[in-house]
Every structure is written in C-alpha cells, then in structure tokens.
Structure 1
Amino acid sequence: MNTAIRKIIHIDMDAFYASVEQRDHPDLRGKPVAVGGSKARGVVAAASYEARKFGVHSALASRIAVQKCPQLIFVKPRFEVYSAVSRQIREIFYRYTDLVEPLSLDEAYLDVTENKVGMPSASIIAKEIKASILAETGLTASAGVSFNKFLAKIASDLNKPNGFTLVTPDKADALVASLPIEKFHGIGKVTAAKMQQLGINTGAELRERPEEELIKLFGKTGQYYYRIARVQDDRPVQPHRLRKSIGSERTFEVDLIQEEDLLERLQFLAQEVAEDMVRLQTAAKTVTVKLKYFDFTLQTRSKTLLSYLNSADALFTVARDLLRTPALPLYPVRLLGISVSNLLSAHDQPAVRQLTFDF
C-alpha cells in the first residue's frame, strides 16, 4: 500500500464575481459591490469584501442587503466573463498537474504530490499559482496546502483575502481541535446549530463523541464528522468525476410566499446550475424543483424533456413551469432548489457537438 503523504492545494478566488467587476470597472474599487439583483428586488449573487463588512453575502435578498448597507452598488452579472476568466485560471493549474478537480468557477483542488515541474514543495507551487493568477488576470486568490482535501479547504479560508496557509501533519490535530464547528467544511448552518445545542462547539468537542453516537444523531454523515474531527480524509482529487446530477439550492432567512420573490430566486439558481453544466461540458434532460415549506415538509416536482438543455434561460423556463404546476406553492417556502439529471457526457461527441453553451 502506498503510504506517501499527499500534497493537496485548494485554490479559492477572493470574492470572484465582485472582484472581476471591480477589476473591469475601476470606479467600483474600494466600494461595497453586489453582483446581481437591484435595490428594489432580486438576490445577491456575490458581494465584495467591502460589502461583506456590512453583512452582505451571496443569496441574500437585495432589499435586505440594502438595509444592511445603504450605499451598496448593484452590478448586473456577466457570467460569460466569469467563465472566461475561470478558464484562464484553470490553464494555470494545468501547468503544474493534470489532477485538478474544479468545484465551481472560482475554486478547485489540485494534487501536486507528483507534478509537471518536478517541484517537491507544494507551498512554492501554491505561491507561484497565486502570483500567476494575479499577473495574468489581475485577481487575487487564497490558497490552502495540506495532506488531504478537508484540511486544504479549511486552510484556504483561514486568511482571506489573498491568503496562504500551510497545515502540516504536526499542526493538523491542534488546528482542527480549536476550529469552531461552523467553520468545518461539510457542516452547514442547520447542522452546526444542532451540534451547538448538543454542546459541540469546537473540533475538540466533536472529537469526544463516539462514532456510533454521531451516526445515530446525523445518519451516515455522522461517520464523516467522526473522521474529519480526527483529520482523516482519504478522498482523492478526482479530475473526471462521474456526475449523476447537478444542483443548487438555498435556504432563506425569511420564508417566501410571493411568486415574484420565488421566481427571482429560481432564476438565480438556474444560472448557477447552468454554469456548472457549461463547466462540466454536459447537458440534461430531467429538471427537478425542490421545495421545503415553513413546516419542513419537502416536495419535489420533476420533468423529463424530449431533448437536452444546457442554457440558463431554458432551465429557468422549465423550472418556472414546474413551480406553477399543478399550482404555485400555497405555503411559505423556506428552501428552494433546482437540480438536473439524466446528463449527457462530454464524451458523447456526436451529441455534444450539437450543443450551444450560452456563456
């Protein structure tokens, strides 16, 4: 068995959409910027660091964002530009390794244990990548370096923006033990709140709980929590993940009931899912809309099409029809999601050639 320690880098662009807008529009630099929405309606797709200081973040309703930051400047998203910049950044990654696992347009894992430049130091590679991204795109990225994916992801978030953090094996246990539970990658807000109610506030307190107890409390995911508390993560970087579905969902701070509000969120989600389809060079025949109501009742509505779709507009049209069929939600909605399945692989060349990607 190969026991060599992996060298994993996680690169995460800093406030990616907003930073691209500030780069391309110098008058926006140093100002609180929200990509998406408007002062009267819509939802924030991304926020600059100047806006984040006021509590503005992605998926926040625009009207609430304005309440938090009255001087907020709204900018229409340009997803075709973000996709182009993302491709630039990915080409930089491939100079060092083919083991690149993109998670979205603005972040990816890289395995540089063995790399194209024959460099033994993952830290030097990460710093070179950051410097190349800045020189070639004018944007900053944060990098985390460690011996597994979980730690690399945690590390990249520790010193944002323009950060670099190395977590070596001798430092990992102490870092995870001191980490607030809400900072754990893979533990969302709802789960974090449940853990805090159970007296689990840090990695050290999570580590005290037996695996059987965590599985009983959180199902199969409890095993994952047990392992990451002990810095155990043997997942490889997967450059060609076989995807069965692609989706995006949001839980709202205030339950939604008006059709206009639901459609605004739905359009945002359709754009996110379409971006992922473009990135993965795929298309889908089945669209599913997920609704979770105020009382946590869950409902899904699906439709399988005769032909493949891959554009945000086409996806939104189908999702809108599903939202309205058989009727608009009668109860307040706390979560809304879109997913696509029955995917077409990029390796199915004759069919893919017929696709037009709108980015």
Structure 2
Amino acid sequence: MTRKPALAVVGATGAVGAVMLQILSQHADVWGDIRLVASRRSAGRKLAVRGEETEVVALSEDALTGVDVALFLVPDEVSARWAPIAAAKGAVVVDNSAAFRMDPEVPLVVPEVNPHAVRVRPRGIVASPHCTTLAMLPAVGALHAEFGLRELVVSSYQAVSGAGRDAVALLRAQLSVVAGTELGAGPGDVRRAVGDDLGPFAAPLALNVVPWSGTLEEGGWSSEELGLRAETRKILGLPGLRVAATFVRVPVITTHSLAVHARFENEVTVERAHEILATSPGVVLYDDPEAGDFPTPADVVGTDPTWVGRVRRAPDDECALDLFVCGDNLRKGAALNSAQIAEAVALEIGPGAGDRRGLGSGQGPGSA
C-alpha cells in the first residue's frame, strides 16, 4: 500500500490556520498523517481536521521531523527562522508569509497562472503571494495570456481581517460606538468618539476609509503597494511591467476588492474578455450592471474564486480594460492558495519522485 505524504500545518491555531483545517477537511484527501503545529502557548489544544480531534504540538525541530510537506501560516519572522529548518529536514515548505516571496531561489506560485513554477525550488521552499495579489492575478493572468499585459493601475480596498484578529475586534468595537449616532457629519467627530486606540491603522475605520496599508517605503509608497508590483512582475515573468497601486483600508471584515485598469499589447474587447474570464479556472464572471450584478465583499466572503465584474473597455484606449475584482483574503488569499500548492507538491513527491527540493541550479532530469 502506497504511503500518502505527511503534512505539517504550522500556525494551525491562527485565523488562516482555521480556514486551512476546513479546506483540508473539504478537499480530496491526499494526505497521510496531518500534524498540527503552533506556538508553545497553544500546544495541547485539540482542533478538528478530517473529522478527527488532533492535538496541537509546539513548534520545534522534532515537530518538523518526518514531514513531507510543511505549510507555514505564520508571521514573517517565524517563517524566516523555521522554514529553512523544515526544508533541511527534507520537507517541501509552502510558505504563506512575505519572508521568501522575492527570493530568486524561491518560486512564487498562483496555481491558475504559473503552476509549472512549483517544480523549481532549489531551497526546498515555495512561496504563496500576498492576499491582494491573489485576489487579482487569476483574472489578470488569464487576460495577460490572451492580450499581453503592459501596464496595471490598481486601487485596492483592503478588508481588516488582513491585519489579523485584533484588527477585526477593533473595527467591531468602533462600529458599536458609532451605531445609532449622528457621527460622521463633522470633522473629527468619529475620531473623538472612538478614542486613541487605532490599532495598526492611522485613522478610525468606522464610517471611514484609510488610504494606507503596510509600512512606509521610499517615495511615499507603502510596502504592500510595492509588494503587489514586485509579486505581479515575478509571477507573470514580466520584470519591466509598469504597476502603480494604491491600497485603501475599508470597514469590511473579510474579502479584498480591487479596481483594476489593465493596458495590453493588443486591442481588447469586452466580449472576448468575458469569454476568457468565464472559462478561466478559479474565476467567476459576474457582470451584468443593468441587473445590478457585480461582485461585492458581502456576497463573495466565504467563497473560493476570484469574482470579476464591471468589465469595460477604456473609453480612450482600445488596448485597455477596467474591471472590479473581489476575493476572500483568508481563503484564496491565504489558505486555499497554499493548500493548492501543497496538493500539487503531494502529487509530485510520491514514492520514487526523487529529490523533494525540486529542480535547481545544476539539477535536472539527467543530473546525477
């Protein structure tokens, strides 16, 4: 009987970890042993996966021993320290953090766009992109394959769950303060009402939008805005692609939205764009403005695909399209994409598959 690969879920008790356990229980069962790993303070908890209660173990070298694939759903600094250890012990690491996304020896993978990249992993690590990149690229990547992408101008409307559970609790608290009031009618009244505790945000989120997400970088750009630019270039193999992004935090719990202006090498039509999007894996076309049909976070949350609507050809450019995209930032934006990568690796590393690190410098099908 063939042994199925053993999986470790590192960060199993976090928000993305909770979604991952749901996905593992819903998808075809390609895994043998599933080991749930978290910080020492969470060790001993029991979580349900595949219908069974499984005890969480503390992150350690022993916890990463004997594992074929390790899913890392943890902060950057934790991945930076522990992912190379897991890889050194023979596991293929699928990392959801930003720690390795721009490492030239680590593939950055969206299975609907560049599935081939998962096989070339000289460090034994595969990275999953930022949740905003993942909301956009299944649709934009499909259009690029047809028309040839030249430029992107993106405005992203970020849900607060992307900043963690504490941020969600903060928004809910602010909403309880402003509910049933006349706040929002005068300058500064919302800020005074919610107080000084703004968490990771520069301004109140209730009855407001905040044009910032990430840390300050050169030129006034945020790290997340520049991250979308760099990740899109790497995934599509377009190092010179022109990308400008503005990230705006909005009072939405879960699901990121993007207004995308995409300019292509060739002339585009809405009819052909509809045909492409309607048949692209991981994409749902929902585009009938006359009937009020277009994606919104409230309708998309909890679903897996990228939803696309408001597809229009730019009025002054026959080579440009404008569209509106929504994607659940905890599912496709985090857990689902990582699960899809891990499942692709599981199929590859069955008995006799060879070095799990994948092809790298000096390695190839005929290598010793």
Whether the TM-score (by the shorter chain) exceeds 0.5 is no
* Higher RCO structure, 1 or 2 (CA under 8 Å, sep 6+): 2
Classify the TM-score, shorter chain.
under 0.3
Greater percentage in helix: 1
